A and B are shown apart, each in its own frame.
Chain A
């Protein structure tokens, strides 16, 4: 187990290093001089930034300085908003993104799983057909469509929920549901086919032959085996939770990490873009790593191999 973790950890560090390098050189390939400071920046600040980030030095030296800073935990600073570091920005925006992301996954999984199970139990009947169609359609509708529809319907027409900005948890309800829609469709479909698969298995016949009631068969035998594939899908899903959802944040005006990225892009704040990108990637990769290690804990076959 320890060997497995160590191996994955080394892999992790390597990947982070490569990502940071790749991103740095990509960003420096932007035409024009992306890291040139505004002309009206006071000299004192200019000097400070030059010293810290070597902005007046050639690319390769800047690279080394940048990597060195990364190791110290300095991901850079915003060029447009004086004094705001990438780390600060992330610290203020990530929790909000995480809430929306996590909420989207939890709501999606919960509702999706329930619908999928009920559909499988009513296989061939009307409810089943509705769920199948809804699931396929749901997967095909981009989440920004859901987002805008929700805004109009719940915000304007019914006027029950706030649709823009973030002044309290209530403001997160609609974004979470918009983020959840595709998850609901995905998990409903997955659970339905998983249940149907399991219900056809021989051991379900054995359970029935023991005289168990339909309820017992479902709860004690069918369900547990149907939920197995769910666990394997969690990994990628969880990894995406923290990085937030750009589009949903923009539409609902949620000040999350995705929104910060959009602002940086639109404001041509390249230092921030670079810093956020690397931060994003780091978080994603670390999440994958944690999930991998957890798999090792949960599945004894991996531990032993």
Chain B
């Protein structure tokens, strides 16, 4: 049985604002094994990015604070790590890539130097020449042609897709144990999206890195994630393997998301059904299930009490009252069958 490399338990993270506390993450539980990939899917503002940054404590520490919970990585208690250890962790073990390749690279520093900087930071005793070789190899691995020339260039001389590749090279050059991708394809057009996704998948196998892939687009994670967590309003609504989520999902929110995605082979006469309404304000989060206000299956209990976790076989779980024994019979719109655990 493989060890869990990352274990997040009951993570609660909030921001202090002039008007009060905004609860961005409200009790998230996630786990990841070595070399595996996890997708976190949710709409804007659901807390997926904050969750990811929490793993390496990259949220602003003057206005953000951990209310509760624990994050365990490779045996280390992240939230109680001292600064020196934390920086070492960020340098070597856990790396991130971000959404906008245009602004994620320092415009006044050569690309090669930015990569080498990361390598030397992770391995302080390494010689500069050796670090440069590693950086060049990383550039080549991400499919950037003429790596030697590109090494000396500035970010504005790269195209958008190449910049994202450079970001990936920067992150993977030190062979981290975990790579967190925060919406890396959102700012790219569809063809580039596909390329970058394939690249990340291929590199994952070569480097044997665990991956957390964050996106609002369920379609994007289909190929790349082994497990998927669906987040809404700071909580995980449903969690399961990729297959389970796509073909046997249980939560009304996930149903809504799947129904609103255009499919290549869908009948053109069947309309896309968007989910009405907008997410709740996290200043004063609703008492019960956060999705209740927009859910067509909502019951009285949903508005009053938070649903507990209902765990099925093969670690698929869902937080929804529909799976309580006292709930009325309902039809799962995706599978057409009766709702059951």
Contact = CB atoms under 8 A, between A and B. Distances in A.
The answer to whether A and B interact is yes
Interface of A: 124, 201-203, 205-213, 216, 220-221, 224-225, 228
B88 A211 contact: yes
Given A202-B98, A202-B100, A213-B87, A208 B58 contact: yes
Nearest to A208: B58
Contacts of B92: 211
A207 B103 CA distance: 12
B104 A205 contact: yes
Interface stretch (B116-124, B132-140, B291-299, B305-313): B116-124
A203 B104 contact: yes
A209 B107 contact: no
Given A202-B104, A203-B105, A209 B62 contact: no
Q: Lowest 10 CB-CB distances: which A-B pairs, in order?
A: A211-B91, A211-B90, A202-B103, A210-B118, A209-B96, A211-B87, A203-B106, A202-B104, A206-B104, A224-B108
Given A124-B62, A202-B98, A220-B117, A209 B105 contact: no
Given A203-B107, A206-B106, A225-B106, 16 more contacts: A203-B103, A203-B106, A205-B98, A206-B104, A206-B105, A206-B167, A206-B170, A208-B90, A210-B91, A211-B87, A211-B90, A211-B122, A213-B87, A220-B109, A224-B109, A225-B108
Given A205-B98, A209-B90, A211-B92, A225 B107 contact: yes
Contacts of B105: 203, 206
Nearest to A216: B121
Interface size grouping (class) on chain B: 20 to 34
B233 interface: no
Nearest to B113: A220
A205, A211, A221: most-surrounded residue (chain B CB, <10 A)? A211
A207 B87 contact: no
A34 B114 CA distance: 67
8 contacts: A202-B98, A203-B106, A203-B107, A206-B98, A209-B56, A211-B122, A212-B117, A224-B109
A249 B203 CA distance: 69
Contacts of B90: 208-211
Contacts of B98: 202, 205-206, 209
A213 B87 CA distance: 7
Nearest to A202: B103
A208 B89 CA distance: 12
Contacts of A228: 108
Contacts of A207: 106
Interface in B49-72: 56, 58, 62
A206 B62 CA distance: 18
A213 B62 CA distance: 17
Contacts of A224: 108-109
B135 to A, nearest CB: 13
B281 to A, nearest CB: 24
A122 B98 CA distance: 26
Contacts of B251: none
B164 to A, nearest CB: 12
Nearest to A124: B62
